[in-house]
């Protein structure tokens, strides 16, 4: 999905987490992530897991940094990390709460070490004493910069400077492990099948939400948790609304429909967009604009390699795409098309569909989207083509390459 709309992002880029024991990531990997963090840590880090009340009607989502380091998917836990040790604090058993939420783990359980993958598991009431002890040994103090627990922490340690815990964790999160790449690939493969299923189903007269239903049914049918973000299915003029969440518009022959949708599987997201003709054939103008977006996307992917930046005006993948758009085709006033590309070219993908980013050049092992688009309200059209791409030692590997994007291939796939 498109990058650069902060309000929309906070709505759709919520944390993703699957049960630690049933996901693709093994307990050893969570432990080695903590080891990697401790190696570079110059102080004390505190992370609060997501809390949960009894009246929840949505499935629990762990705070993503907390999940990345622990794999822990139960509410109310706290993580304390120093260069020397790591401790997980768990709430105590509560029969009333467990009646609503199911059986929960607790520090006094005989299998607490095995269940959590931590050598030190303590009850939450011991947290403040342990933190006081750790802070007496180290000067630097890290915590995430938002949330009610942060306010309490700042009040209790009013004379300590608290640094943001996110950057050191992000540094680890941006480069994906083999297990993470496998999880992203699985989410991508299921997403490709879902897009193909809509291509089989689509016909003039259908409504946008019916395509969302097809997408979501494939995600769930294939054992994924669900969507990585609400499907964006925008037909005709709706395609030019960047984060249009599919609605009740009837799609007709002669229009294109933009579908930006992906699954979340095993805690990891994918992110794919295709734009297809509702009636099976692109018009001459639609095909012209489509080819320009596709050309920009191919040029951008070809430019990806370690050392280049995604954003920025110089030596960036964004500039490659923008230059292509500005040097191909015209709008109805004879003006270049670049101004109709109105969002960022891409973003990291991982535990979150918009994974945290580091300010710097691309490195091998990062996974990013490449998603140029043209949104021309005056012509009632929006076209975006988005693939998920792994940065390799010498270039890029398109993880979503199995989903066709050449206009002839799309028309052939749509032919009934
Ligand atoms: Mn995207």
Q: Are residues 208 and 304 in the same domain?
A: yes
Q: Give pLDDT, residue 8.
A: 34
Q: Are residues 211 and 161 in the same domain?
A: no
How far is ligand 1, taken at its centre, from the CA of residue 351, in Å?
13
How far is ligand 1, taken at its centre, from the CA of residue 387, in Å?
8
Q: Are residues 164 and 257 in the same domain?
A: no
Residue 10 binned pLDDT confidence (cut-offs 50, 70, 90)? very low
Residue 291 binned pLDDT confidence (cut-offs 50, 70, 90)? very high
Q: Mutual orientation of helices 317-326 and 284-303 as an angle, nearest 10°? A: 150
The whole-angstrom separation of Cα 294 and Cα 242 is: 18
Phi-psi region of 55 (alpha: psi -120 to 50; beta: other; left: phi over 0): alpha
The conformation of residue 93, written as its DSSP 8-state character, comes to P
The whole-angstrom separation of Cα 44 and Cα 136 is: 10
Q: Give pLDDT, residue 56.
A: 63
How far is ligand 1, taken at its centre, from the CA of residue 258, in Å?
13
How far is ligand 1, taken at its centre, from the CA of residue 369, in Å?
6
Q: Give pLDDT, residue 21.
A: 36
Mean pLDDT of 105-133: 96
**Structurally, how many domains does the chain consist of?**
2
Which domain range does residue 356 map to? 178-415
How far is ligand 1, taken at its centre, from the CA of residue 139, in Å?
39
pTM, entire model: 0.92
Residue 51 binned pLDDT confidence (cut-offs 50, 70, 90)? confident
Domain end, chosen from 173, 201, 217, is at 173
Mean pLDDT of 80-106: 92
Using the predicted structure, report yes or no on whether residue 172 has a pLDDT greater than 50: yes
pLDDT tens, residue by residue, 229-276: 999 999 999 998 877 776 889 999 999 999 999 999 999 999 999 999
How far is ligand 1, taken at its centre, from the CA of residue 386, in Å?
7
Q: Are residues 149 and 283 in the same domain?
A: no
Q: Are residues 167 and 188 in the same domain?
A: no
Phi-psi region of 207 (alpha: psi -120 to 50; beta: other; left: phi over 0): beta
CA 104 centroid distance within chain = 28
Mean pLDDT of 3-16: 39
pLDDT tens, residue by residue, 308-354: 999 988 889 999 999 999 999 999 999 999 999 999 999 999 999 99
Write the CATH number for 142: 3.40.350.10
The whole-angstrom separation of Cα 349 and Cα 352 is: 6
Widest CA span in the chain: 73
How far is ligand 1, taken at its centre, from the CA of residue 325, in Å?
19
How far is ligand 1, taken at its centre, from the CA of residue 155, in Å?
38
How far is ligand 1, taken at its centre, from the CA of residue 260, in Å?
8
């Amino acid at each position: 999905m498109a990058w650069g709309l902060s309000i929309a992002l906070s709505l759709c880029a919520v944390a993703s987490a699957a049960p630690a024991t049933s996901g693709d990531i093994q307990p050893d990997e969570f432990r080695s992530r903590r080891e990697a963090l401790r190696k570079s840590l110059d102080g004390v880090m505190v992370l609060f897991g997501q809390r949960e009340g009894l009246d929840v009607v949505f499935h629990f989502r762990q705070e993503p940094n907390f999940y990345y380091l622990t794999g822990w998917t139960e509410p109310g836990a706290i993580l304390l990390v120093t260069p020397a040790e790591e401790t997980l604090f768990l709430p105590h058993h509560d029969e009333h709460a467990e009646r609503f939420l199911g059986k929960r783990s607790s520090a006094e359980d005989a299998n607490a070490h095995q269940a959590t993958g931590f050598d030190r598991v303590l009850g939450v009431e011991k947290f403040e004493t342990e933190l006081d002890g750790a802070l007496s040994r180290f000067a630097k103090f890290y915590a995430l910069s938002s949330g009610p627990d942060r306010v309490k922490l700042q009040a209790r340690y009013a004379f300590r400077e608290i640094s943001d815990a996110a950057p050191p964790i992000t540094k680890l999160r941006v480069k994906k492990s083999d297990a993470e790449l496998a999880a992203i690939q699985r989410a991508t493969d299921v997403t490709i099948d879902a897009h193909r299923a809509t291509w089989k189903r689509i016909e003039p007269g259908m409504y946008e939400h019916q395509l969302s239903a097809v997408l979501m049914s494939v995600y769930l049918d294939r054992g994924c948790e669900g969507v990585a973000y609400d499907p964006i299915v925008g037909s005709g003029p709706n395609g030019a609304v960047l984060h249009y969440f599919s609605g009740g518009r009837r799609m007709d022959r002669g229009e294109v429909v933009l579908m930006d949708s992906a699954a979340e599987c095993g805690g990891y997201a994918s992110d794919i967009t295709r734009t297809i003709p509702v009636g099976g054939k692109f018009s001459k103008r639609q095909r012209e604009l489509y080819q320009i977006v596709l050309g920009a996307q191919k040029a951008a992917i070809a430019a990806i390699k370690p050392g280049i930046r995604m954003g920025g005006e110089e030596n960036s993948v964004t500039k490659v795409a923008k230059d292509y758009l500005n040097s191909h085709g015209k709008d109805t006033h004879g003006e270049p098309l670049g101004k109709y590309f109105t969002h960022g070219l891409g973003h990291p993908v991982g535990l979150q569909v918009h994974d945290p980013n580091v300010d710097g050049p691309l490195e091998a092992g990062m996974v990013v989207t490449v998603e140029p688009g043209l949104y021309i309200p005056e012509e009632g059209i929006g076209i975006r083509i988005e693939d998920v791409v792994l940065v390799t030692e010498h270039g890029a590997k398109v993880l979503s390459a199995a989903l066709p994007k050449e206009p002839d291939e799309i028309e052939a796939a749509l032919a009934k």
